[in-house]
Structure 1
Amino acid sequence: MNKDERQAMMKSMMEQFFGGMGEDEKKEMCATMMGKMTEGLDMKEMMPKVMMGMMSGGAGDGPGKMQDMMAKMNQGGHEQQMAQMPEMMLKSMMPHCIGMMLPAIDPDKRGEVAAAILSAIVEKGSVGMSDQQMRSFVDALDEVLDRSA
């Protein structure tokens, strides 16, 4: 059985399996499965490796999958795309990931998780900033926190 045949078979099986499920049921099942699949894994250690693998072409559907995807999204040379990668990831991918995962966490534990995320943002985001840049950075964070209060 070649790759195309396996993919076609998998698609058919997935359609049969998920066919009678509603969107909420699918989300609940995926959230439960993620918990089971990641049980015993140190996500702090694993995620940077996964992300670096994706960016270097070590993961995904073939060599340079993430790079190929980014090439289609951006114009310019490879160096320019790689230079824009961290900003793109932080502006769109990470907020999307947090938006998907945070609601799945026990409401009593969300503050702890959010505090850890915010601490990393403040600690690492302020590296190398001048006093004026730091003030602007903190003001931007305060503005977001004030909106939600």
Structure 2
Amino acid sequence: MESWIAVIVAVIAAAASFVAALLASRQALRARKSAEQLDSRAHRIARIDRQSEELREAYLRFATSLGSYAQDGHLGQVRAALEVLAACSGSTEALRGQVIGQAKLLSMSGSQGVRVGVEPSMIREAYMEAQELLADKRQAEATD
């Protein structure tokens, strides 16, 4: 009879060990998935931050080129800055539209030998909207 008790105790202990191993494995999988989700979110937020910084630097380059255009009348720097601004990954359709319109105006004025003033206000508004959109995306990622 005692041998049966020893066998039953051994079977119960083996079953308990097996169940504990299954639960530990399941918990490890959950922890890994959770860590991957956090890492993925951090990467998405970092990408949005890079897009915002790229856009900020391109706008700064554009604004700086306006100063040299006002002093020297060199269209090349302004056109280059506009191209960079339009090519930014954080640029919106509205910003690209404003940039392309201004670039066309500058190109026509340059080919005709007429100096045209650059109107930055519409580009500034579109730039600010693009930055707000990126900030909203970042906030949505951070709170998800």
Which category of TM-score, normalised to the shorter sequence, fits these structures?
Answer: under 0.3
The normalised TM-score by structure 2 is 0.28
The normalised TM-score by structure 1 is 0.27
Q: Which has the larger radius of gyration?
A: 2
Whose RCO is larger (CA < 8 A, sep 6+)? 2
